[in-house]
Amino acid sequence: MGHRSDRRLSGPDAVRNAHGAREAGPSDERPSDGAFHHRFEDADKWAKEFDNPERDTWQKPEEVLDALHLQRTSLVADIGAGTGYFSVRIAKRVPEGKIFAADIEPDMVRYLSERARREHLINLVPVQASADAANLPEPVDVALVVDTYHHIGNRTQYFAKLKSSLRPAGRLVIVDFKMDSPNGPPVRHRISPERVTQELKAAGYALVDTLQFLPRQYCLIFDTGSS
């Protein structure tokens, strides 16, 4: 969601991304770091896409969060938080905890700060992420990565580093687009759940659960075996 791009995208070959926005066409090639680079500047514009109520019908955010069994005191990271679609919902579920809303785009972080103030979510903490790290200020119980895994480069190294930001018994949750989803990034930039599992195994994670109810996405839950 909030991961970098080396170029702007336009033209007749563009397709619609996860939220209806235009993304790359057939002429684009996968970079050497394995990521699909795309800028998400102008957060106010993207908010109309990311927070469109129509997204709820297939993203099913409340059902996803129900399945994670968050506690009132949980510490959670939303990596690639964008405009806060999941972060604001999490904040209301962990009133005695914190939600670190991390994004690589400075304007998303600015928007998240303003949204937290506007909606009086004092436990929503915006975090300026970087291309190679989430930069979380303290370890969390759950790190949630929604529609963002395919934007992250050098993923095995990235998630190996992220392990130090998970508490004992902490979980990593990956939600991303199925290969046959009617929306999402261009098909050649999608990453199968099997490949996600392989990459994260190499980073030191073990698949512990899979949620099956999302119509367009898979949801994989990992731990580090350190519980």
Identify the pLDDT of residue 183: 86
Neighbour-count burial of 90, counting CB atoms closer than 10 A to its CB (0-12 exposed, 13-18 middle, 19+ buried) = buried
- List the one residue out of 130, 139, 125, 110 whose CA is nearest residue 46: 110
Span 110-116, average pLDDT:
93
pLDDT in tens, 12-71: 222 333 333 333 333 344 455 444 444 555 554 544 455 556 787 889 999 999 999 999
β-bridge pairing 217-223 and 206-211: antiparallel
* Whether pLDDT at 211 is above 50: yes
In this prediction, residue 185 carries a pLDDT of 86
The reported pLDDT for the residue numbered 54 is 76
CATH numeric code, 15-223: 3.40.50.150
- Which helix or strand (DSSP H or E) is residue 39 part of? none
- What is the phi/psi pair of residue 197, to 5°? -60, -40
pLDDT value at residue 149: 96
- Is the full-model pTM beyond 0.85? no
Report CA dihedral (183, 186, 192, 193) to the nearest 10 degrees: -40
Domain regions of the chain by residue span: 15-223
Q: What is the pLDDT of residues 133-192, one digit of tens each?
A: 999 999 999 999 999 999 899 999 999 999 999 999 999 999 999 999 998 888 988 999
Question: Given this model, what pLDDT does residue 56 score?
Answer: 79
pLDDT score for 208: 97
